[in-house]
Every structure is written in C-alpha cells, then in structure tokens.
C-alpha cells in the first residue's frame, strides 16, 4: 500500500499497522511502548507546557521537513522559556492520498530530531481526513519541560542589557519561500531548523534575562513584542545583523526585510552587560551558535520602540508590520 | 465732538511694525488715546473728530508684512485722553493673534550692514520690524522678546532706546540687537580652534563650511568650484540629488538662469524661498554640472539674513547652500549637534549663539503655469494658516503622510500646516515630528481633540495616531485627502472632480492607488477612473530599481510575441534578476498591484535608460521630465505647435494614445498602446528626449480625454498629487484645459504632494467627527 487511505484512521487493522510499522518502528521508547490511553511520566519538578501545530508548504524543504520543524518548534519554545524540554506528544492529521513513504520520511526525521534534542515522544495520535480536508499533513506537538530556576522573561529585561542572536537571520523564511515558489536565487539558502535546547543549556546562566526564538514575524516582530512587554526600547545595529549572503540577495530582489523573516533555529538572548561576554563565548563554542553576535542594546527612552542604526548613522524605526512590506514611497 | 471708538484688528499684526504705524498715523491725524498689543491682536482706543478717516486710512495703509483677518469698530465712552500712547502688551487668556513667518532681510537693514558709519555695520544679526527672525525663535505667544530665544540678550541702551521709540524702524522689533548686546558668530575649525572672520577666505579656498543660519544649518561651499562641490557631494553621501544655491544677487542669477517676472518676485519676496529655475541654453559650463547632475534646472535663493549677505564678501557669486543634515535625518539646528554630526563633512563651522527654537528648512517653489508651486514648504511661510470654508466642529490634528511629512492643526476657521519635516521611517525625523507637534500647538494655540490619519497601515504617523490620547481617530484615504486639501485652500465645499496623479497611497480595495480621478468633497468621494493596475515588484525596492518596474510592466502589458521583440531592452538587467522577476510575476510573489502615476514615470525613465538606479526620491521621474524639456528646447517648432495659443491643440493626436475600459462604473485608463509605442520608439533608436517629451504629452492628453468623459458640468477641475510638481506635464495639462475651456484649480499655498496632505485629513476629519 503506497498511499494513506481513510481506513488508516479507522482504528482497525490498518491503523494498528500504520502505528506499528511507521511510528513505533522509528519512535520506540519505554514511554511510548506503554501503549496506554495515557502515558505515565516520572517527575516532581515545576513544569512548563507548550503546544504548537505545524502546517507548512512544502512539507519537505531545504534543511528540514514538517516533522523536524514540529519537534524543534516545541522544544525551542520550552527551552527559551528557561525550561528543560522533557517529553513531547505527537498528533498527526493526514490527508487521504498522502504518500506513506513520505510519512515515513517525516517520522524518521521526527525520531532523529527527538534523539538529537534528547526529548522523547511519549504519546501520539493519528487521524486521517478526506482528500481536500487537509493539506497533506498537519502535525501538533505538545511539550512538557521541567524548571529548576527560572529567571528569564521580559520582566527581567533592563536598560543597558545586550541583545544577542545565535546566528544568521531569516534563513528559514527565505529557504521556505524559495522552495515553495520554486525560486532560484544566486546563493541557495538552507533552513536553520534545529533544536536549541543544548545550545541554550550551554550558555544559560544568571544574567540571561530573556530568550525568544524569533519564528514567525522574525527578529523585528519578536523584539517589538519584548520592547512593549518590558517597557523599554531596543537599538539594533544594521551592520551587526548576521546575514547569509543568499538571504541578503533575496531580500534585495524581493523587497523583503530579513528582520521580519522566520527563523526556526535561532535564539535571541537579552543578557546583562556582566553576562554578555560569557554568553557569547559559550554560544560560539556550540555548533549551532558559531555565528552568534551582539546585535543591539536595550535602552530606556521611548519605550516600545525598536530602532535600527543604519551604516549612515541614522536610526530607522523597526515597526510592528501589519501584513506585508507595503510600498510607501509616494 | 466728544466721540471715542474702540478698534480691534487681528491677523498678522505682531512683529511687523503695526503699533508704530498706528502711533505715527494717530500723531499725524491728531488722534488721542492708545494702542495696545495683546494675544488677541491690536486694540486701539481712538478719540477725536478725525477717527472715521483715521480708521479708513488705518486699514488702507497697513505695513507691507501685516495682514488683517479680523476687524471690529464700535463707539465707546469718551475718556478725554491728553495724547496718544503705546501701552505695553498684556497677556490675557487664549492668544488668537497670528505669528509671522521669518522674513528675509529688508533693504534698509542691508544698507545698514554696508554703511561703515552705522551702528549695525557688518553686524550679522541686524533686523527691524520689517525683517528678521520670527517663527524660528518663538517659544510661546504672545510674540514678545521674553517669549523668544532673544531673551538671552538684554538690550544695550542704544538698542533699548530704538526699541522704545515709536518712530524708529526698530520699535518693538523683538529680535533687535547690535554687536554690543546681541548674538555673536564664531568660526571654528574641525579641531575646535577658534578662527577669525566669517569663513569667506576658507570658502574661497574651496573648503566646506557648516553655517548656522535662520532655521538651521547649511553646508556651504563655492558653487563655482567643481572640485569643492564634488567633495561635498561625496562627503554627504548624497548620490545625484541636486544642491540648492544661494546667489549674490538677482543680476548674477540672470547671468546663468532664466527668470520670469513671477520668479523674480518670488526670489525677492520676504519669504525668500529657493526657486527652481531653468539654466540658460548653452550656459552649462557656467555653473558646474555636479550641482544638479542630469537636470536642466537649479534651485536658487537670495541671501535672506545679514549673515548670508556677509558671506558674499568673497570672489564668488554662488554658494552651495544645502541643508545641514545627514542622509535621512532632520535638519540640524543646535551648535553641539552640528559639530558632532557634521565634522566628517565640514572643514569649518560658522556658529552663532542665537538659539533656533523651531528648526525650519528652506522652502522650495517652482513657477508652473504662472503660479508658484511648492515642492517644500517651510521657512518664510510657516506658520501662516489656511482659511477654511467651514468652521471646525472640533480641534483636529492631521498627522500627514509618511515621506515629506508635514502635519496640520485645525480649529475655528483656520488650519495651520507645519513646516516640512521629512521621512517618518527615520527615527530622528519622527522625533522631530513629535517635538514640533508639541511646540506648534503652543504657537497656534490649538490642542487637538480629534486626530485624522492616513489609511496606510504601516505609516509611522498611523501608528502614532492610533497610539495617541485623542478620543476620536479618523482614517482618511490618501488621495481623498489630496483632493480635499486643494478644495479647502480654494474654499470649495461642493463635490468636485479632481485628477490626483501621485506616487502611492493605500486604496480601499487593499491595492496601491496613485493615478486617480476622484469626485468628492470633505464628506466623501467616488472613484470615477484610475490607471489600470500594474505589477510593482518588490514594493519600495522596485521604486529604487525602476528598470525592474519597466520589466514587470512590459511583461504585464505585452503579449508573449510582442515581448520577444523587446529582449534587447533588458540586457541591462542581470540574468538572475530577470529570472527572479519572471518567477515573481508568475507566482505573484511580492508583487503589489498599483495604479501609481509616479511608478509609470519611473518605468518610462528606465526604459529610456535615463535613470535606472534611484538615489533620491523622485529622481527617475525628475530626470525624465528634464530630458523631455531639454529636447523641447532643442526642437522649438514642436514647442510652437503645442503652445497655448495653438488653436489645434485639442485635435492633435498624441503619439502614444491611452485607451479606456470599464470596470463597473469606473473607467480604467489602459496604457498598453502607450507602453508598446514607447518600446517601439526605443527599439528604433529614437532620441530618448523625443520619447520622453511625447510621453508627457500623451499622459496630458490622456488626462484631459478622461476628464472629458467624466466631466458633467463646467465645475473647476482639481489637479493635484505629487506628479503635478512636474512642470512640463502640468503646463501641458493646463494648456489643454484652457483649450477645452475647463477651469482648473491647484494647490496654492501648500505643496500638491504629500506636504499638503494633512490639510485634507483635517477637513475630512472635521466632517466625520462627532
Ligand atoms: Fe501622495
Ligand atoms: Mg510556538
Ligand atoms: Zn529690516
Ligand atoms: Zn545693542
């Protein structure tokens, strides 16, 4: 059988077969193998929980696929909250006709990413919907993390803090765009999709005041949210923004701003002046943070504003965009 | 006869020698009583049989800079005053008197400056009631020295005596000063060493000065020294944007540039704006090309302060006088900031210690169709109000547009538009906007209760309005505001047809509007016609790369077969760019559908290889117009056949005709044939100037033919939007309107571009607020 049919979701023999031959085969672990209505998990710590649903076109892209994205997205949301990601759930909605071979590729990718992150999938669910009721495959993951000490969040941001990013920005956004639209830029860009929990472990220390993974909306939108929540302003320096040449080129052509493009394997860190050097060197020592750099500072005046110092010395307002980059030149 | 009258006059009556005028007239006619100056204007108590005659002459012989907008005359109790005196101004509640704009140095003061026996000989800050700083130094009303930045300079006995003497030219001239008591200049090199003189020698040597003037700093160098001009351009990282000039006098301007009577009048006016003039034919060698690359025009002004006049004590007739700012940032007006920010540009700093309170750029005007059209409105005109056709229901703020921003405050029957502020995406400009909004409210005594803002969701001014404290917020469509602004200036309230030919504005169908035919008034509008939607690739990035627009428009307009013929045109566009553009167009990726007029001009400019890389706003269209105009100068018979007096003008078929389609009730202007025609001519190797000229001509015909299809009555036609700062196009349209007996109205005292937008917002806001 090559393709998903409705019977794969009926709860009957085909459903069991699918679970066993695809999901269990690749994701097998003691928790998942309990095969109960609910999985028992150990722990008495304070917990953090997050959930996210993933719908992306194309399902496979340069640097990843929807499965990898579903693991990374949830792991990263926990990690930037200062939690240790511990367990993941996995719910998959399949469109009738989806290639089983593709499903297996995705599940293998989930397994590999979950192994890399060290976060097991502990429960799951699969449903099939009629052709046209979903677009190929939708995935929801819920993550549970544990918290020892918690000191990160917008409320800890102080004027004078530094803003760091773990690497180049906008890679995921451009890579997806190129794949989806079949665009060929001079320099190809690969999605940065990656689990960040180990990277974050490596530099997480007092003095790290806030972390975010600038996914949808990018660094610009994320920092605008932080500036408003923390009632501070943030001054970025354009020359310091790490940019993959392919991203710079694509943005120049399409009129996109890398500050608003999605990232799936980058962490924004706001750290105290005392901590910044340590955080930076730890980040750079990790393979996912080699291009980590300071991109700006937190300031007091004009709370809510995110500004970008241009090479000419002026400052541009990095606003919260409504929709696209609409033309404004009159 | 024991009769006494109370007279109240208001308008521009402060700082223009009004009280001494009243005093002298009263003395001459034997009138007894007093004159007083308050925040509500000038009040007079006049006694004696001559009072009616006195009142008549009072209104007839007002000083040149005064402007009376309100008058009141009634009988009061006789008090038997022994003589006539000037009472001190008293502050009583809300001020209502208009603040004067800054006034260029008068002839008397210029003469004092050159007279070795005069107290003000070579004194760079001399002024009198007929001239000098006003708006730029005013902190608060009423206009009194203590409310200006001249407060820091106590008058010496001589100045004080002149200030007190009703018969003196300096009577109650608030900024009066002399070298003993007034502001002083200081020349400094980049190391911070004080140097002697005003920097005239340094300019003559080819060095660059940062000069603090009236409304802010200028960067100055000898305009006749191409090397100095190049250096300034390079240090300012200015691209191709033209530099403004200041000329020694009218005679030297006449040597190099054509001046009409109207232009001469503007140059010599008390507002002393920069006037855009055409270079004389064959005199391109006279003033360096680097001043305004690619253009046949130069913006020139005359010295408008004594300091500027003194700078001409050197062997040069023209100085570059470009705004002292860094690219994309507001005009610098504070000494410390100038030294800090301009040290990489200027070799010397000519500083002074009279603080500027309201920074103000030079105003820029051009005579188009015998009227002055504003490109930029600031010094010399702000804060003069527009009288509005209706009383305002509330105090309203119009925050203006995004680029070339100016805001407007309306209340009572007047609307005050601020000076040009700049591009709001620049944070420093946005700060200047907020700073000026706060202090402008004081000057015009209006605290807004309602805010009106542009419909564009990402304008800074939109965010500002939405985040602000005003209880009522009214969203206004961009081109509706353009139309209503002009109606407001002309006191028209009836629905009127307008051609708004503009760059871009947010449309109600979520598309980017630009070239619109709207019929309406402040209450509302209908969109009767517009340019067809064309694909703008990459939004503002496209606007900076007009060849990409030209490519995208070509792809959209030409059939596949026709497209194949054009391949040669796109050799200038790198292959990978073409590939991406094709994909973009195919997938509609980052493609904005636009009816922009400006972008069509940009596209044609790139097609003709006139401008393919834009370094300043409007460059592609401005250079296209210039090439077209220069071609016209070279081919005067064409000019003749199109001259206003030609009876055939209406029958002439344009070279690139437009076509029309209907979309429901709305007419769509189709440009396929026009675009194809231009491409054909380019491929045949026709002179780009010829094509550019006929493009302008064809658009003008297209406008008029569209209007003829829409016009139901003999109502005047509004012509506005940024494209009507294009002299060639505007004059063609005006000529055609005249031929078809269509009366036209245009922006008068505000720019037709986005600098005039805020007035429209305020008027529309007034209709919609409760
Ligand atoms: Fe506009
Ligand atoms: Mg999430
Ligand atoms: Zn004077
Ligand atoms: Zn004095």
H or E stretch at A164: strand A162-165
Instruction: Compute the average pLDDT of residues A106-121.
Output: 98
CA dist A226 to A167, A212, B406, B687, Å?
19, 9, 31, 57
What burial class does residue A280 get, using C-beta atoms within 10 Å of its C-beta: 0-12 exposed, 13-18 middle, 19+ buried?
Answer: buried
**How are beta strands A64-65 and A60-61 bridged, if at all?**
antiparallel
Catalytic residue numbers of B read 19, 37
* Closest C-alpha to A156, from A231, A92, A267, A265: A231
Q: What is the CATH number of the domain that holds B560?
A: 3.30.420.40
Regarding whether B147 and B77 lie in a shared domain, the answer is no
Q: What is the 3-state secondary structure (H, E, C) of B426-460?
A: EHHHHHHHHHHHHHHHHHHCCCCCEEEEECCCCCH
* CATH number of A154-318, picked from 3.90.650.10, 3.90.1580.10, 3.40.980.10, 3.40.50.620: 3.90.650.10
The string of pLDDT tens digits covering residues B477-503 is 999 999 999 999 999 999 999 999 999
DSSP letters of B206-227? T--EEEE-SSSEEEEEETT-HH
Confidence (pLDDT) at B432? 97
pLDDT at B639: 61
Burial label, B281 (beta-carbon count in 10 A; 0-12, 13-18, 19+): exposed
> Which band of pLDDT confidence, cut at 50, 70 and 90, is reported for residue A330?
low
Model pLDDT, residue B650:
55
The domain containing residue B579 runs over which residues? 534-743
Name the region of B369 (left: φ>0; alpha: ψ -120 to 50; beta: rest). Answer: left
* A127-144 confidence digits (pLDDT tens): 999 999 999 999 999 999
Backbone angles phi, psi at A97, to 5 degrees: 100, -5
One DSSP character per residue, A4-59 reads --GGGGSSSHHHHHHIIIIIIHHH--TTGGG-SSS------SEEEEEEEEE--SSS
- d(C-alpha B372, C-alpha B369), whole Å: 8
Preceding omega of B18 cis (within 30 degrees of 0): no
Average pLDDT over residues A56-61: 94
B111 and B249 share one domain: no
Retrieve residue B393's tokens.
């229901």
Residue the block writes with tokens 């204007």? B41
Ligand closest to A73 (CA) is 2
- In this complex, do B427 and A323 lie within 8 Å of one another by their Cβ atoms? no
- Average pLDDT of each block of 10 consecutive residues along chain B (770 residues)? 88 83 92 86 92 93 88 91 82 68 96 97 96 95 91 97 90 93 97 96 98 98 96 92 97 96 97 96 78 96 98 97 93 97 97 98 98 98 95 97 97 96 95 97 95 96 96 98 98 96 95 97 98 95 95 97 94 92 93 97 98 95 97 78 51 88 96 97 97 97 95 87 98 94 96 98 95
Residues B400 and B480 in one domain: yes
Across the interface, whether the CB atoms of B427 and A316 are under 8 A apart is answered yes
Contact B33, B69 (CB under 8 A): no
Nearest to B426 among A254, A316, A321 (CB): A316
pLDDT in tens, A199-252: 999 999 999 999 999 999 999 999 999 999 999 999 999 999 999 999 999 999
Among B456, B402, B406, smallest CA distance to B425 is for: B402
Contact A256, B537 (CB under 8 A): no
Q: Which helix (H) or strand (E) holds B340?
A: helix B335-341
Residue B284's pLDDT is 60
Q: Which of B151, B182, B213 is a domain's end point?
A: B182
| B228 and B296, same domain (yes or no) | yes
Are B394 and B405 in contact by the 8 Å Cβ rule? The answer is no
How many angstroms separate the CA atoms of B263 and B297, rounded? 13
Together in a domain, B228 and B301 = yes
Task: Please tell me whether residues B606 and B656 are part of one structural domain.
Answer: yes
Question: Are residues B715 and B640 part of one domain?
Answer: yes
Q: State the number of CA atoms in the 13 A half-sphere of B526 facing the CB.
A: 10
In-domain check, residue B521: yes
Contact residues on chain A for B512, CB-CB shorter than 8 A: 326-327
Going from N- to C-terminal start, the domains of chain A cover 36-147, 154-318
Q: Which of B63, B86, B109 is the last residue of a domain?
A: B86
0.90 exceeded by the pTM? yes
pLDDT (0 to 100) of residue A186: 81
How many other C-beta atoms lie within 10 A of the C-beta of residue B489?
A: 24
Digit-coded pLDDT (tens) for A273-319: 999 999 999 999 999 999 999 999 999 999 999 999 998 889 999 99
Residue linked to tokens 């805020």: B758
**Chain A partners of B503 at a C-beta cutoff of 8 Å?**
329-330
For domain A36-147, the CATH architecture is 2-Layer Sandwich (3.30)
The pLDDT of residue A26 is above 60: yes
Q: Are B315 and B252 within one domain?
A: yes
Into how many domains does chain B fold? 5
| C-alpha–C-alpha distance, residues A120 and B435, integer Å | 56
Is B377 a domain residue?
no
In this structure, chain A runs to a length of 330
B440 with B359, same domain: the answer is no
Contact B577 A253 (CB under 8 A): yes
B672 and B579, same domain (yes or no): yes
Average pLDDT over residues A112-125: 97
Q: Which of these three, B364, B397, B416, is where a domain ends?
A: B364
Residues B257 and B286 in one domain: yes
CA A59 – ligand 4 centroid, Å: 81
B142 cis-preceded (ω within 30 degrees of 0): yes
A228, A255, A301, A309: which to substitute to probe chain B, counting the most B Cβ within 10 Å?
Answer: A255
Cis peptide bond N-terminal to B436, omega within 30: no
Among the partner-chain residues B329, B458, B617, the one whose CB lies closest to the CB of A329 is B617
- Whether residue B371 lies inside any domain: the answer is no
H/E stretch holding B689 reads: helix B688-710
Using CA atoms of B374, B253, B116, B102 in order, give the dihedral in degrees to the nearest 10. 0
Q: Tokens 């232009």 sit at which residue?
A: B263
Residues A29, A287: Cα–Cα separation, whole Å: 27
d(CA B609, CA B546): 10
B373 occurs within a structural domain? no
Task: Supply A91's token pair.
Answer: 């719910």
Same-domain pairing of B548 and B665 = yes
Task: Give chain A positions within 8 Å (CB) of B583.
Answer: 181-184
């Amino acid at each position: 059988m090559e393709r998903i049919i409705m019977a794969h979701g009926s709860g009957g023999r085909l459903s069991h077969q699918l679970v066993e031959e695809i999901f269990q085969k690749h994701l097998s672990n003691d928790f998942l193998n309990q095969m109960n209505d609910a999985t028992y998990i150990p722990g008495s710590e304070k917990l953090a929980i997050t959930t996210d649903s993933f719908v992306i076109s194309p399902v496979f892209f340069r640097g990843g696929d929807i499965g990898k994205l579903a693991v990374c997205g949830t792991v990263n949301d926990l990690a930037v909250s200062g939690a240790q990601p511990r367990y993941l759930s996995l719910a998959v909605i399949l469109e009738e006709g989806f290639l089983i071979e593709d499903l297996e590729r995705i599940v293998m990718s989930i397994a590999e990413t979950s192994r890399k992150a060290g976060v097991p999938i502990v429960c799951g669910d699969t449903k099939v919907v009629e052709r046209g009721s979903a677009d190929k495959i939708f995935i929801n993951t819920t993550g549970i993390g544990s918290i020892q000490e918690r000191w990160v969040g917008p409320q800890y941001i102080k004027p004078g803090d530094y803003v760091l990013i773990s690497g180049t920005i906008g890679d995921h956004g451009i890579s997806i765009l190129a794949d989806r639209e079949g665009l060929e830029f001079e320099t190809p860009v690969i999605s940065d999709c990656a689990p960040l929990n180990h990277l974050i472990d490596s530099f997480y220390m007092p003095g790290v005041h806030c972390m975010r993974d600038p996914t949808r909306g990018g660094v610009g939108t994320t920092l605008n949210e932080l500036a408003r929540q923390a009632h501070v302003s943030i001054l970025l320096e354009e020359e310091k923004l790490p940019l993959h040449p392919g991203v710079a080129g694509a943005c120049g052509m399409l009129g996109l701003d890398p500050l608003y493009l999605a990232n799936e394997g980058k962490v924004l860190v706001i750290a105290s002046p005392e901590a910044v050097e340590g955080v930076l060197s730890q980040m750079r020592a990790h393979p996912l943070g080699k291009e980590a750099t300071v991109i700006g500072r937190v300031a007091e005046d004009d709370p809510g504003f995110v500004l970008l110092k241009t090479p000419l010395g002026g400052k541009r307002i990095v606003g919260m965009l409504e929709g696209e980059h609409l033309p404004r030149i009159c | 006869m024991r009769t006494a009258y109370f007279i109240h006059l208001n308008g521009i009556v402060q700082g223009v020698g009004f009280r001494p005028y009243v005093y002298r007239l009263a003395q001459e006619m034997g009138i007894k009583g007093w004159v007083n100056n308050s925040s509500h204007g000038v009040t007079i108590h006049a006694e004696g049989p001559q009072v009616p005659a006195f009142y008549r002459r009072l209104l007839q012989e007002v000083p040149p800079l005064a402007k009376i907008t309100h008058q009141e005359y009634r009988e009061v109790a006789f008090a038997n005053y022994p003589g006539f005196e000037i009472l001190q101004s008293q502050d009583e509640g809300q001020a209502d008197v208009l603040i004067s704009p800054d006034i260029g140095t008068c002839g008397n003061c210029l003469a004092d400056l050159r007279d070795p026996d005069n107290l003000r000989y070579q004194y760079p800050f001399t002024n009198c009631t007929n001239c000098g700083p006003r708006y730029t130094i005013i902190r608060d009303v009423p206009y009194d020295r203590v409310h200006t930045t001249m407060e820091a300079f106590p008058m010496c006995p001589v100045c004080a005596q002149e200030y007190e003497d009703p018969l003196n030219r300096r009577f109650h001239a608030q900024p009066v000063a002399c070298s003993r008591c007034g502001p002083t200049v200081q020349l400094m090199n980049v190391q911070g060493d004080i140097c002697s003189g005003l920097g005239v020698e340094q300019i003559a040597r080819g060095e660059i000065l940062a000069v603090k003037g009236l409304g802010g700093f200028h960067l100055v160098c000898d305009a006749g020294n191409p090397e100095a001009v190049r250096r300034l351009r390079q240090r300012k990282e200015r691209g191709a944007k033209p530099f403004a000039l200041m000329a020694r006098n009218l005679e030297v301007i006449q040597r190099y540039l054509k001046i009409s009577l109207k232009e001469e009048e503007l140059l010599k006016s008390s507002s002393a704006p920069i006037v855009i003039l055409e270079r004389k034919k064959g005199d391109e060698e006279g003033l360096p090309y680097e001043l305004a690359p690619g253009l046949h025009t130069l913006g020139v002004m005359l010295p408008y302060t004594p300091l500027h006049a003194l700078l001409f004590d050197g062997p040069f007739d023209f100085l570059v006088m470009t705004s002292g700012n860094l690219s994309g940032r507001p005009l610098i007006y504070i000494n410390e900031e100038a030294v800090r920010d301009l040290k990489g540009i200027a070799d010397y700093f000519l500083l002074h210690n009279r603080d500027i309170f309201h920074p103000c750029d030079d105003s820029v005007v051009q005579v188009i169709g015998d009227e002055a059209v504003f490109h930029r409105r600031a010094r010399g005109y702000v804060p003069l109000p527009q009288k509005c056709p209706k009383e305002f229901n509330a105090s309203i703020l119009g925050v203006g547009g995004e680029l070339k921003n100016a805001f407007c405050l309306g209340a009572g029957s007047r609307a005050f538009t601020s000076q040009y502020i700049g591009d709001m995406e620049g944070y420093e400009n946005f700060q200047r906007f907020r700073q000026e909004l706060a202090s402008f409210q004081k000057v015009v005594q209006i605290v807004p209760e309602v805010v009106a803002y542009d419909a564009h969701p990402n304008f800074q001014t939109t965010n500002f309005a939405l985040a602000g404290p005003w209880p009522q917020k009214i969203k206004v469509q961009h081109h509706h505001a353009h139309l209503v602004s002009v109606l407001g200036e002309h006191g028209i309230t009836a629905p009127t047809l307008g051609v708004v030919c503009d760059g871009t504005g947010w449309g109600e169908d979520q598309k980017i509007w630009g070239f619109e035919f709207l019929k309406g008034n402040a209450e509302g509008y209908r969109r009767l016609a517009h340019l067809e939607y064309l694909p703008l690739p990459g939004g503002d990035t496209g606007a900076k790369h007009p060849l990409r627009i030209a490519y995208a428009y070509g792809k959209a307009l030409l059939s596949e077969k026709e497209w194949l013929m054009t391949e040669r045109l796109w050799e200038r566009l790198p292959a990978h760019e073409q590939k991406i553009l094709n994909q973009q167009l195919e997938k509609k990726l980052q493609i904005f559908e636009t009816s922009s007029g400006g972008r069509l001009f940009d596209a044609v400019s790139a097609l003709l290889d006139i401008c393919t890389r834009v370094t300043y706003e409007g460059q592609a269209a401005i250079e296209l117009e210039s090439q077209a105009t220069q071609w016209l100068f070279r081919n005067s018979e064409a000019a003749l056949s199109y001259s206003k007096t030609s009876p055939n003008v209406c029958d002439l078929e344009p070279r690139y005709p437009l076509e029309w389609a209907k979309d429901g009730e709305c007419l769509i202007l189709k440009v396929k044939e026009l675009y194809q025609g231009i491409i054909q001519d380019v491929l045949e190797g026709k002179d780009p100037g010829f094509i550019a000229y006929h493009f302008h001509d064809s658009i003008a015909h297209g406008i008029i033919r569209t209007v003829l299809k829409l016009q139901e009555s003999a109502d005047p036609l509004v012509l506005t939007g940024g494209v009507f700062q294009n002299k060639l196009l505007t004059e063609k349209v005006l000529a055609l309107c005249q031929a078809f007996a269509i009366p036209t109205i245009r922006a008068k005292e505000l720019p037709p571009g986005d600098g005039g937008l805020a007035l429209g917002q305020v008027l529309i806001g007034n209709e919609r607020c409760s």
